[in-house]
């Protein structure tokens, strides 16, 4: 009997930036994980906003071992209500759990231009998070709405090895510097419809790209049409990247999965977790 070797590998997709610890997902985590498995999303990084979601992200990463990973930290949107005690407790939690394999990054941290009134406090908290990443040699996941140039200027004063600018949108003119320094960029559903984001994808080498949903977010434009994010969106994002880069979906998915492994220092389990 003639044996035909099958060389087709199953596609492996990754979500480097999701807020699995968000309240909106509380009742839906099982559903999201199942949806991820059914859509070949084999690894997700649960980003945190404050102490409470950091604890939750850690629990989720332990429950869905090697499928969900945790990024812990204080988001600039939470700086306003942040107490000194909470900041200290979050820092202590991260330090104590440093050798927990479930933790792969400090995130989501950064600066947001919409919260100008608390700029000084944002700077203080971001500095604290960056120093923590430096001390613990952890990658950082950065939120930089309207603040990318300031953040890019600040980062060299810290000894940070791995930096991910999540949902990078502008200014395009800063991209050569960002690429030269080896930063990573993650893009999500807008890669399928936004000319600005497609331009970013075009300019960033595939070796520096990661995919994300940033869920829970509702994307209104086609092909998402107001639907709430699910891991299934990742295949559309990878499809858009492949189209922009003029490569096959297999090649794009494979390289992005390898980027995920290199950036977060983990080995992807292609079956998607322990289960």
Which residue, 112 or 214, is less far from Zn ion as judged by CB?
A: 214
Joined together, the tokens standing for residue 121 give 């406090």
Are the beta carbons of 203 and 174 closer than 8 angstroms? no
User: x/- contact string, 45-74, with Zn ion (CB under 5 A)?
Assistant: ------------------------------
Tell me whether residue 15 or residue 108 sits nearer to Zn ion (CB atom): 108
Contact 122, 86 (CB under 8 A): no
What is the Cα–Cα distance from 109 to 14, expressed in whole angstroms? Answer: 20
Q: Residue 243 and residue 72: Cα distance in Å, rounded?
A: 33
Q: Which of these segments, 105-113, 124-132, 196-204, 256-264, binds Zn ion (CB under 5 A)?
A: 105-113
The reply on whether position 112 binds Zn ion by CB under 5 A is no
Site for Zn ion in 180-219 (CB under 5 A): 214
Residue span binding Zn ion (CB under 5 A) among the ranges 34-42, 102-110, 121-129, 251-259: 102-110
Q: Which of 12, 15, 37 is nearest to 254 (CA)?
A: 12
Cα–Cα dist 261/256, whole Å: 9
Q: Cβ closer to Zn ion: 187 or 214?
A: 214
Segment lying near Zn ion (by CB under 5 A), choices 60-68, 101-109, 185-193, 221-229? 101-109
Rounded to the nearest whole angstrom, what is the least distance from the CB of residue 248 to Zn ion in the complex?
A: 29
Nearest CB to Zn ion, comparing residues 11 and 233: 233
Question: Considering the complex, what minimum distance in angstroms separates the CB of residue 228 from Zn ion?
Answer: 15
Burial class (CB in 10 A: 0-12, 13-18, 19+), 54: buried
Residue 143 in tokens = 């939120």
108 versus 112: smaller Cβ distance to Zn ion: 108
């Amino acid at each position: 009997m003639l044996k035909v070797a099958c060389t087709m590998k199953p596609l492996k997709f990754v979500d480097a930036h999701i807020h699995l610890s968000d309240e909106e997902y509380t009742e839906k985590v099982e559903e999201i994980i199942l949806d991820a498995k059914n859509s070949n999303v084999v690894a997700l990084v649960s980003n945190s906003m404050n102490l409470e979601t950091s604890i939750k992200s850690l629990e989720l990463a332990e429950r869905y071992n090697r499928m969900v990973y945790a990024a812990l930290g204080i988001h600039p949107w939470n700086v306003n209500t942040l107490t000194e005690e909470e900041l200290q407790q979050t820092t202590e939690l991260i330090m104590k759990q440093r050798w927990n394999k479930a933790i792969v990054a400090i995130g989501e941290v950064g600066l947001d231009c919409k919260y100008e009134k608390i700029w000084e406090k944002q700077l203080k908290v971001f500095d604290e998070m960056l120093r923590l990443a430096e001390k613990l040699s952890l990658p950082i996941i950065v939120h930089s709405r309207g603040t990318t140039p300031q953040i890019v200027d600040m980062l060299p004063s810290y000894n940070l090895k791995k930096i991910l600018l999540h949902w990078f949108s502008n200014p395009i003119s800063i991209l050569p510097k960002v690429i030269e320094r080896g930063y990573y960029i993650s893009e999500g559903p807008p890669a399928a419809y936004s000319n600005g984001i497609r331009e970013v994808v075009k300019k960033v080498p595939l070796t520096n790209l990661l995919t994300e949903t940033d869920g829970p977010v509702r994307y209104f434009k086609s092909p998402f049409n107001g639907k709430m994010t699910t891991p299934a969106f990742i295949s559309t994002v990878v499809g858009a990247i492949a189209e922009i880069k003029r490569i096959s979906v297999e090649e794009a998915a494979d390289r992005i999965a390898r980027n995920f492994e290199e950036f977060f220092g983990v080995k992807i389990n292609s079956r998607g977790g322990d289960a």
